[in-house]
Amino acid sequence: MSDNILVLGVGNVLLADEGAGVRAVEQLQHRYAFPRQVELIDGGTMGLDLLGYLDGKTHLFIVDAICSTQPPGSVVIEKLLDPPAYFRQKISPHQIGLSELLAVAAMQDCLPPSITLFGIVPRDLSTGIEMSPEVNVAVGQVVLAVVKELGLMGVEVGAASR
Amino acid sequence: MAKRIVVDPITRIEGHLRIDCEIDNGRVTKAWSSGQMWRGIELILQGRDPRDAWVFTQRICGVCTTVHAVASVRAVENALNLEVPLNAQYIRNMIISAHGIFDHIVHFYHLSALDWVDIVSALKGSPKGASALGQQLSPWPRNGEQEIKAVQEKLKGFVGSGQLGVFAGGYWGHPAMKLSPEVNLLAATHYFQALEYQRQINKVVAILGSKTPHIQNLAVGGVANPINPDSQSTLTIERLYHIKTLIDEIGDFIRNVYMVDVAAIGAFYSDWTQYGAGVTNYLSVPDLPLDTKGTAFALPGGYIGDGNVGSFKAITSFNDEGFKQGVKEGVKHSWYKGDWDRHPWEEETVPQHTEFQDNGKYSWVKSPTFNGKPAQVGPLANVLCMYAAGHGPTKLYTDGLLQKVSALAKTKVGISALHSTIGRHAARAVRCAVLHDSLLGQWQALMDNIGKGDYATFNQPVFPKGEQRGVGFHEAPRGVLSHWVVIQDGKIKNYQCVVPSTWNAGPRNSKDTPGPYEASLVGNPVADPEKPLEVLRTVHSFDPCLACAIHLLDPKSREIVTVRTTV
């Protein structure tokens, strides 16, 4: 079976750097052409609405702003070898966001076996649609990193036709 | 001595909704509801093209994207007196109905059922007993022992591995959890089934809204779905029949599972009909317009004062002057400059943050009022207003649900029981069933209209020089949503969103009258102030949605719900 990859950008584009994940997906869609096995989704700040998009996926790339002690604009790429570790935090059972989405997917046996986080450390989370300069640069780096990762998996990514 | 507890945050996302309660002798005596984050999204819209506003407003909230898109295009259309083609109304109405069904099912099963259902207790339930109970309650074919047993095994797997996943952090074993292990097990089984059905109904939104999580088919003046019965790339008859199949599949789940579970939980927890009424002025708006001007609607709306259903006054059109003039927002207790009550068109948004002042400013949420009074919004307000208006399906489902509860509780439960924490859940289930009927009705109306040869879906907006003012309202899953726009020479001059959770979660108003959350908490029992499950029950019954903005992934484990107790 060939790989089926979901590139899921999440975040709120009205809160400056919080929307970095969504901006990265927009840039990917704008600059490249992907084969059918790659699906790109702007997930915004949705949770359970996204469950259906995980069906049949072998790989999930999550692009999101992350909390980190590293300086703003840093890019953190890591395979989530034990995704449930993310769910172990004591969270309210009443609100559903990304970590709950993945937990529910695990319960429903539709969690993609391979999950990679492309994290961007934000600087500015205030209201506004412009990202800070360093996060802008980081988004560009993540776009290239996603394309490179797909290339390593043997997925051919072309330039967008204009 | 009174104890004070702080539940911060009530919603998942840290720092968005904070509830402070004073507790004396095991009861809440005073409560404060505080929105902890300032959005000011409206400022982003100033100076922009009104035709683009919905694309931005759709991002205000992570859970209810669609509703802000709908309210926004309606506001601009209202300002321009722009009519919307019938097909576009029907398509929007179908999206609205399907989205509402999705939202209500997810709210009940996945966001609030676990306030009442003890997952850990479900492990001890007998699948045979749970199955027998299920079959006694409803003809649902998926209450079989085997399916229930499989769910229990799955749950055991989570607990055995120490990974409760979404079930982590619940108040399992709390003294206020009263259901038997079998009832808990049956409810847990439906929790899993609901995950499947919410997915089904969400597909309807995706197909009509252009196949992405955020709908893309709206436009000021209509929708961007070209209708051509013969073309492959547009909304075809084949696609419309596929949608019909999806709609049909979910109907049984709503009537034979969701409604039944709510009735059963209501009967087992009948003491909760005594708590949580709070503000009993109810505001809702009519929705699902059936003409191009927005003067006839499939679902009625209006205002009920002081819980007196007989006092119902209908809101009858998108141009209803009573609604336009009645809405104001105040900032006496909110972190904005000044102390005023203003109409949304006249508001300004100048933040002024202070510490949390019990008697002063303590919230980023403003206090909306309708004709000078706080009002509760949401499915309960909507159902009571539709009931008062004599809406057939609403009467049918409400009476049916109350009869079921009465039979299970072995006592007559009337409509007055709905003014309560558990009543809000019952009303939401009724509204879900009503929306399902409406969805079928709108589907048929669209098919009939296309059958007449009408394929129009869009009227071009024209922006005259000068100033226009408009309001777009929408009865969203959480209640009345209104967007208020002032347009100057084709650009947005002012924009305000008065959202359902503002109505319900607002702080005390300029007359120091508490908002609906605050009022509903007073008198609630609290068995253990360290584990204020009862406070969560009442707040969650409103379907709180201040978790509107931030979505930051924290790779480090941390506690998200903190309960601080101070004496």
- Tens of pLDDT, residues A4-32: 999 999 888 888 898 899 999 999 999 99
Measured between beta carbons, which residues in chain B are less than 8 angstroms from residue A142? none
Residues on chain B touching A129 (C-beta within 8 angstroms): 44, 56
State the pLDDT at residue B111. Answer: 82
Which residues in chain A (133-162) have CB-CB distances under 8 A to chain B? none
Share of chain B above pLDDT 70, in %: 89
* Per-residue pLDDT tens digits for B342-365: 999 888 778 888 888 999 999 988
Contacts of A25 in chain B (CB under 8 A): none
Dig out the tokens for B86 from the structure.
């019938």
Q: Spot the catalytic one: B14, B42, B182, B329.
A: B14
Domains recognised in chain B with CATH numbers: 3-154+182-565 (1.10.645.10)
ipTM of the complex: 0.82
- Put simply, whether A49 touches B (Cβ < 8 Å) is yes
pTM: 0.91
> Are B62 and A66 a contacting pair at CB < 8 A?
no
- Any chain B CB within 8 A of the CB of A125? yes
Task: Answer whether A42 sits within 8 Å of B552, measured CB to CB.
Answer: no
Q: How far, in whole angstroms, is CA B254 from its chain's centroid?
A: 17
- Distance CA(B196)–CA(B90), nearest Å, equals 26
Decide if B12 and A51 are in contact by the 8 Å CB cutoff. Answer: no
For residue B70, give every residue at least 6 positions away whose Cβ sits within 8 Å of its Cβ, in sequence order, or none.
Answer: B54, B92, B95, B96, B218, B472, B474
Residue of chain B nearest A77, judged by CA positions:
B555
Residue A82 has pLDDT above 60, yes or no: yes
Q: Who contacts A144 (Cβ-Cβ below 8 Å, separation ≥6)?
A: none
Amino acid A89: pLDDT: 40
pLDDT band of B263, cuts 50, 70, 90: very high
Q: ∠ CA B489-B494-B495 to the nearest 5 degrees?
A: 120
Mean pLDDT for all residues in chain A: 85
What is the separation of C-alpha A101 from the centre of its chain, rounded to a whole number of angstroms? Answer: 13
Sorting pLDDT into bands at 50, 70 and 90, what band is A94? very low
pLDDT at residue B232 in the model:
57
pLDDT at B416 over 50: yes
Q: Is B68 a catalytic residue?
A: yes
Question: Quick one: pLDDT at residue B29?
Answer: 92
Residue B260: band (very low, low, confident or very high) from pLDDT cuts 50, 70, 90: very high
What is the rounded CA–CA span in Å between residue B153 and residue B133?
19
Return d(Cα B426, Cα A17) in angstroms, integer.
Answer: 40
Q: What average pLDDT does this structure show over B444-461?
A: 94
As a whole number of Å, the CA-based R_g of chain A is: 15
- The helix/strand/coil state of B485 is strand
Sequence-distant (6+) residues with CB within 8 A of B93 are B287, B288, B289, B298, B438, B442
What residue of A is the nearest CA neighbor of B57? A14
Q: Is residue A47 pLDDT above 80, yes or no?
A: no
Cis peptide before B344 (omega within 30 of 0): no
Q: Which positions in chain A touch B61 (Cβ < 8 Å)?
A: 45
With residue A60 as reference, give the H or E element that holds it: strand A59-65
| Range from B49-58, B150-159, B248-257, B445-454 carrying the lowest mean pLDDT | B150-159
DSSP codes, B8-46: E-SSSSTTSEEEEEEEETTEEEEEEEEE-----HHHHHT
Using 50, 70 and 90 to split pLDDT, how confident is the model at B1?
Answer: low
Q: How far apart are CA B502 and CA B362, in angstroms?
A: 14
Angle of the B86-105 helix axis to the B237-253 helix axis, nearest 10: 30
Tokens 């904005």 appear where?
B336
Tell me what pLDDT residue B555 has.
37
Look at residue B501 in the predicted model and tell me its pLDDT. Answer: 85
List, in sequence order, every beta strand (DSSP E) within B430-519.
467-476, 479-488, 491-498
The predicted structure's pLDDT at residue B550: 32
